[in-house]
Amino acid sequence: MQRNKVIVFLFVCRKDFVTDTKQNSDFKVLVAEPEGTLTRQLVDFLKEKNLKVELCREGKDLKDQFDNFKPDFVVIDLLFVGCTAFQLLDHMRLTKTLKDCKVIVTSKHNSMSNVRAVIGAGASDYVIKPYNMDDMIGRMAFQIQKKKKYDAAKRKDDNGQASYYFNYVDLMLRELAANKEIHPRAFNLTRMLAMTVKAVRISVIHCQEDRQKGIVRASSDDGKLNGLEINIARYPEVQYVLNTEKIVVLENLSKDPMMSQIKSLVKSVSFNSMIVAPIFKHGKIYGVLSTRFDEDQTNIADSQVRFCDMVANMMSMLVSTEDSFEIYDPNADEEEGLSPEKNSDSEAA
């Protein structure tokens, strides 16, 4: 199974982008989208949020407008007439401005080949049209946080708790090999992981091909949950993992004064610490293992990341070698049955 083992930590916002004295009006967004209702809605919405917005009307002027405006974000249609997203990204590479500006590419075409191409070219995100305005702001809030690669070669055991963790590994491996249906095993793995890393909720989310809908297949806080549909377009961290196939770690910044202005823009987004790891089926992305922590936890230990990554690997083995969750009979076992109506979309991931 091929996996990208790079782990990403998200810490504080770039100092050149957000400071404790900077106002929302200092955030600059350049919109390079075709004329139409959606574009006008986006521009008006961003202005209502007190962001400084410029609209590029002619592709031939985009590079000059970008150089003069010096935006923090560019929202650009993949095939913007006169200057495609790829041409703008090439220009940004040549002018060494990619590190100073986040590029969100939009398209009506939901193609993984397009996603990989634009991310590989330097874009920060890929959003399917038509998009929701609040979701777009959520994507921006996610992207402004600084990324730092985690060096797996320098991992160390935390507080000498090796025996404690090895015991849990042994239990998890036994559960993985148990002669049970796929759902009870997945639930037990999430429950054991939650106890190990002290998480509030662990969820196994099967993401559909359109990357807009997901199905929660197991959750550590409800042994009966299997089949709850959610809108994963609302979760930028899930979208990031689907697009990059990398594990992502976010540390709680809700009490950081530098985040206060961002929080005012994205009240619907959770700033709790979380770890989201990809799950693969036969080498292709299947979904994610989402781990959410209590709002009081502001730091995530290396061991917590390692365990979540390990259990995501176990889930990959489970979904690749066993019958699918879809054929699991929720009425076969009263304790392990299906009860999605108890959960809401906002709490599922």
More confident site: 222 or 349: 222
Half-sphere exposure of 150 (CA within 13 A, CB side): 23
Helix, strand, coil share (%) of the chain residues, nearest 5:
40, 20, 35
* 155/320: higher pLDDT: 320
Q: pLDDT at residue 198 above 80?
A: yes
Confidence of residue 141 (pLDDT cuts 50, 70, 90): confident
Q: What would the mean pLDDT of 231-245 be, rounded to a whole number?
A: 90
The domains located in the chain, with CATH, are 19-143 (3.40.50.2300), 153-348 (3.30.450.40)
Residue 12, number of CB atoms within 10 A of its CB: 14
Q: What is the pTM of this model?
A: 0.71
pLDDT over 90, % of the chain: 43
Q: Could you check whether the bond before residue 130 is cis, i.e. omega within 30 degrees of 0?
A: yes
